A and B are shown apart, each in its own frame.
Chain A
């Protein structure tokens, strides 16, 4: 028995470690090897020579990125689009959850939930296709309505003034309903006695929302808000990739689309890896900061 206990854990739990093996192999090959690959951000990468054979050039790529106006503009776009989505998109799921919770007809509530969750499961290709179709100046239904008021059709998808708002609006349309689910779960967890006590004190529904519901889901709100701020560099890659075009690069090109277009399109591997690394490092820093702030505010934090 003693000998059995002293055996190495690797032998003792070999079957458990075997179960873990495929996952770890996957993580190492497709997550950690690329992390090692980011060193090409500091190398004059040449496909023929490979990662090891290419020569070091230090921070040359980073210098190049910030020397021209293009990359700073891309970073600016990323942050602007992200914050527009945050300001106009973050409260929407909370409002939807509160409104759903106020419904007296439970069956109606379920119907609304069914419909508002649907867009979340539709790909950006399809949603982008629908948006482009609806807004098209030649065949779109929206422009038909605009024209029926005697106005000129608007080229929404190629107009820099409109494009970011279309990103914000379509993102909200797609995700707000689904986003409400997590707040609904939090609201369901609220102890009903709190509402009873509030009612005894003569609180109206509105006051109950303000003094009971909102304080009770505060920690959920804070955590999700901080997560969003931590992910500010993710401005919606797939969405923009589907919806943007050369006419709106000026206002819509974000770091990810820039890395993809310039990196793979023009084979600028080193330069765009540097851009990606810049994004990754700052994004990671932001997340850690957000988590630290959550803890400071007395919340549980994300990790």
Chain B
């Protein structure tokens, strides 16, 4: 391909611009990491940029030894693991019948589900239902009211619809039940799509904090994001610092360390699923 000089310069510019963009995505995290590993004096003097000064692990030690942090972290892990498993189960189970063309009433059920994407009761009525179903101050209040996302359901259903009919028919001739067909044909065939959706659910559970703000008041059941929110608002930090006065640790570095602790699990899982979600998004992009 013959390239004009203008095009070559455009390539240079493009690479430079996108490099800067990528850097801008990653530098804030590196800055926070550097802060969390530095000692208080340098942070307060604003001398820490992208490399720790006065290296110390004391803020991490403080955060990881904190009992509240431990509770919140395990709560969040529980949400991400159990919540995702339940959400996937209920979504897959519903997507299969809804993807069958010859079954009556599926269109009706579909409409009922899709309506909820456009109209909702709103914050307060939902809060009242959660309260009336006895979920307040229970970890389940962060799972059950958000169990299934209609959007994810539609993605999986569309994927199931694209599975060739012949596979299903041959299994049926062999005497397989519907459940068996779902388990042995549809689920194995849709692993990339399902992995993507599972990641969406897991990230959603890990990152959600608003429901916790409404439904959880007992500190024991606070998820990590909510604890973090309290830390970020200044008073929260002062609270913690007053409880056990720790000489070397400042609010700044504690904050940085706890932010990092909330990000690292996502960054650890991210590379493994990244290869799936481009495929996964494609199937949504084809037509939702």
Contacts and interface: CB of A to CB of B under 8 A. Distances in A.
B263 A139 contact: no
A277 interface: yes
Contacts of A122: 207, 263, 266
B114 interface: yes
B246 interface: no
A74 interface: no
Contacts of B96: 16, 19
A22 B93 contact: yes
Contacts of A23: 90-91, 93-94, 113, 148, 153
Nearest to A102: B14
A167 interface: no
A129 B35 CA distance: 13
Contact of A34 (B44, B93, B122, B179): B122
A27 B113 contact: yes
Interface string A15-38: 111011011101101111111111
A124 B232 CA distance: 12
Given A34-B121, A129-B228, A9 B207 contact: no
A204 B4 CA distance: 9
A35 B97 contact: no
Given A133-B256, A134-B31, A102 B10 contact: yes
A125 interface: yes
A112 interface: yes
B282 A103 contact: no
Given A40-B125, A276-B123, A134 B28 contact: yes
Interface in A269-292: 269, 272-273, 276-277, 279-280, 284, 287-288
Contacts of A121: 203, 207, 266, 270
Contact of B18 (A13, A19, A99): A99
Interface stretch (B61-69, B77-85, B100-108, B166-174): B100-108
A26 B232 contact: no
Interface stretch (A62-70, A82-90, A258-266): A258-266
B270 A103 contact: no
Contacts, number: 248
B130 to A, nearest CB: 8
B225 interface: yes
Nearest to A230: B118
A133 B250 CA distance: 14
A116 B91 contact: no
Interface of B: 4, 6-7, 10-11, 14-15, 17-19, 21-26, 28-29, 31-32, 35, 43-44, 46, 49, 90-91, 93-94, 96-98, 100, 103-105, 109, 112-114, 116, 118-130, 133, 144-145, 147-148, 153, 177-179, 182, 203, 206-210, 213-214, 225-226, 228-229, 231-232, 252, 255-256, 259, 262-263, 266-267, 270-271, 274, 278, 281-282, 285, 287-288
Interface of A: 9, 13, 15-17, 19-20, 22-24, 26-27, 29-38, 40, 51, 96, 99-100, 102-105, 108, 111-112, 114-119, 121-126, 128-130, 132-134, 139-141, 144, 173, 177, 181-182, 185-186, 204-205, 220, 237-238, 241-242, 256, 259-260, 263-264, 269, 272-273, 276-277, 279-280, 284, 287-288, 300, 302-303
21 contacts: A20-B109, A22-B90, A23-B148, A30-B129, A38-B122, A51-B128, A96-B21, A99-B18, A103-B15, A116-B21, A123-B225, A124-B207, A130-B28, A133-B32, A133-B255, A140-B46, A185-B285, A238-B210, A260-B213, A264-B127, A280-B120
